[in-house]
Structure formats: structure tokens, C-alpha cells
Amino acid sequence: MTNPSMPIGAPLPGPAAGGGLDQPAVTESAAEVHVATKLEETAGPGEKEVLRVEDLTVSFPTDDGLVRAVRGVSYAVHEREVLGIVGESGSGKSVSSMAVMGLLPKSARIAGKILYRGDDLLKKSAKQQRALRGKKIAMIFQDPMTALNPVYSIGDQLAEAVLSHEIMPRKKALARAEEMLALVGIPQPNRRLDNYPHEFSGGMRQRAMIAMAVINNPDVIIADEPTTALDVTVQAQILETLVQVKDQVNAAIVLITHDLGVVAGMAHRVLVMYAGKPVEIAETDRVFYQPRMPYTAGLLGSIPSLEGNGAGSRLRPIVGTPPSLINMPTGCPFSPRCPLATGICREVEPPLAPTDELGHVAACHHWDKLAEVDDPTVFFRTESEAV
């Protein structure tokens, strides 16, 4: 666990800070100071369901035709559960989350159900949705520099998030803002309240966004690519902060990302999206070690690994590009890029159906072929590897 007396990101004492030549000593010293919080070390999911999305569809009319951005997304999250939603850019991840938050433009055509503790948010008025937004369902936006107002101090913006939902003295709201900055690991929070966004580093701005999201103790936190444009060290710290904060406020987290590696150690379940539709849902370990959808296997093959096939091994990219959401191909939308595609794949779009494990569903006609091999990423091997 992280040392609570040391702010996250503080310089490491001893050999780690001096940069000595003895690398094992550096690693050992660093491990003594900071050990990443693992998901299994935190409180597990509760029995109460806080958010359920049923058959959500979102489309946008354009001059070129109807853009079907989200096509039948369904999932549920329970208290303290972390659900990872992954997929390439344009797969509908962010649009589905913006629909949950009620932040889509009026031109959007939304159908389905978004149930917060049993109440359908799509049937509520704009005023009722505003009362829930930021109070019960909060969001960490992708780019904190554009999400934060540059002309207001960090303290003013955090206090505003409180005062927009509760009536209290401004001094008390600022005290809560200071408490939240301390919770997310920002040193000297009382002094940082007067800073402006441009005076924070990228990692600190992202922490401030997390503090703003949790300041009202929400039931659901939607994190939309919270580690974009951050280096790997800060990225790990931000993800660890999220894992720790979920227990502090007893919240469920919907983590949206395009990188399967990001959710590897911090999600209980993973939902993989492609062309606006879920194509695989399972527990995280099942998705990583026993994928049943070729697209998921392709994503896994494109992740750098320390356990590759030697120093000269190459990544296995997915050839081609995602389909147009205006002119969808007949059959499975992944079939033009899929190495397992057959005639039925080009004619009939497969439904999300159970596979060989309880709770593991995939949209693929040939998931059994992936089950027959130990490493499903071999189907995406390059020409040089095939020789």
C-alpha cells in the first residue's frame, strides 16, 4: 500500500533518488517506499447495482446520412466495481458515456434505458438530470486543460462543484476542496487552492479533475481516458489514485480507454466495443488470457509485452481501419479485418452470445476456433512470422 505520509510522486530517498549504479538496489529501495495498490487489495464489488444501461442506441443525423455511433450497448455496474470499456477511437465509448451523463447535443437521437438505482435517466427532465450530474454520477473528462476554466483558481472550481448541489458557506466548500486535493495526493493542498490550471502539471491537473469528480461522494464515476497524454509513470499514479479513491467514496467506476493495458490491473470486468457495439464482455483475466472475439485477440497482440518472442519480435497489428458508421458493412462489422472471417460472417452479424464460460459473452460466429489455441493472437501474425 502507498505510504499515507508521503504524497504520490514524491522523490524517493536513498539509492533511488541518487541514481546509483547498482540497479537491484535501486529497485529494492523503490519497492520499499512505494508499492502499487492492487485491485484485489481494495474492497470488492457490492451487491447493490447502481447503474444499468440497457440496449442503448445513439445516432446523429448528418448531411451524409445517419451516424449510428452506439448500437445496443448494455452493461451494469455495482458498488465499488470497476468496469473497463475498451476499443479503438470511434467505437462509441465516449458517446455512450456522454449519453449516461446527459451531455449529448439536442440533435442526438437516444433510445434504450439508462437506469440509476432503478430510475430511467432518459425519462427525467433536464433539471432533474442536472441535479444528478456531478452529485450522483460524476465524470473525469479526457483533457483536463480544456475541462478546467483557465480564469478561475482550482479552489474556486472545486468549491463551485459543491455549491451547485449544496447550500453551505463558501469557506466550508473550500475546506472540502482542500480535503479532496489531499485525498488525490496533491502536496500542500491549502496553498494549491489559489493556483490556476496553467500552474499545475498535466498529472496534477488530472488529479484535480479526480478531486472535482469525487468531491460530492458520487455513486458512479465515469473516467473517460483519464491518462491520455501522460507519461507512463504519472499514468500509473493516476490509475492507482482512482483505485484508492473508489473505496474512499464507495463509488463504482466506468473506465473508458482505447488501451487494454490500462485496464489490466484495475478493472473487475471488461467490455470490448467495436463499431458502436459490444463484442465481448467478461472478467478481466478471461479477456486477457482466453479472448473469444478475434478483435479482442487483435488488440492483445498489439500490446507491447515483456514476455514477447524474443528481442526481435514485432507487434501484431490489426490490418485495415474501422468501418464507416454511416455505411456499415453487411454482416459482422469486423469481418473485413478478421483473419477468421467466412461467408456467414459477411452475411449475418453475430449476436452477443454465451461462450464456454459462465458470464463470458462474445459476438463471433467462430469463437470456438479461438478456444482451440493457447495464444489467439497467432491469427494476427505478420507475413514475416508466417514464413
Q: Per-residue confidence at 264, pLDDT binned at 50, 70, 90?
A: confident
* pLDDT tops 60 at residue 234: yes
Look at strands 252-257 and 269-274 and give their pairing. Answer: unpaired
pLDDT tens digits, 113-166: 999 999 999 999 999 999 999 999 999 988 888 899 999 999 999 999 999 999
Say what the pTM is: 0.84
H-only helix segments in 215-293: 232-249, 260-263, 284-289
Mean pLDDT of 344-349: 95
What is the structure's pLDDT at 31?
33
More confident residue, 231 or 91: 91
Q: Which residues contact 364 (CB under 8 A, 6 or more apart)?
A: 279, 292, 293, 294, 332, 340, 350, 370
* pLDDT tops 60 at residue 81: yes
Mean pLDDT of 76-82: 93
Are 245 and 210 contacting, i.e. CB atoms less than 8 angstroms apart? yes
Are 380 and 301 contacting, i.e. CB atoms less than 8 angstroms apart? yes
pLDDT tens digits, 294-314: 999 999 888 776 665 444 566
State the DSSP H helix or E strand holding residue 200, giving kind and residue range, or none if neither.
none
What is the structure's pLDDT at 313?
61
User: Hey, what's the cell of 93?
Assistant: 465509448
What is the structure's pLDDT at 35?
42
Query: Which 3-state string (H, E, C) describes 80-92?
Result: CCEEEEECCCCCC
Query: Under CATH, what is the fold of the domain 50-267?
Result: Rossmann fold (3.40.50)
pLDDT tens digits, 31-46: 333 345 777 777 778 7
**Which percentage of the chain shows pLDDT scores above 90?**
63
What is the structure's pLDDT at 12?
35
Choice among 119-123, 244-248, 253-257 with the minimum mean pLDDT: 244-248
Q: Per-residue confidence at 237, pLDDT binned at 50, 70, 90?
A: confident
What is the structure's pLDDT at 34?
38
Q: Which of 16-25, 140-149, 188-197, 238-247 has the highest mean pLDDT?
A: 188-197
* pLDDT tops 60 at residue 7: no
Q: What rounded mean pLDDT belongs to the chain?
A: 85
What is the structure's pLDDT at 24?
38
Q: Per-residue confidence at 385, pLDDT binned at 50, 70, 90?
A: low
Mean pLDDT of 180-194: 93
Q: Which residues contact 4 (CB under 8 A, 6 or more apart)?
A: none
Q: Does domain 271-386 sit in CATH 3.40.462.20?
A: no
What are the residue ranges spanned by the domains of the chain?
50-267, 271-386
Mean pLDDT of 225-238: 80
What is the structure's pLDDT at 255?
94
Is it true that 50-267 and 271-386 share their CATH fold? yes
Mean pLDDT of 315-338: 90
More confident residue, 140 or 384: 140
Q: Per-residue confidence at 379, pLDDT binned at 50, 70, 90?
A: confident
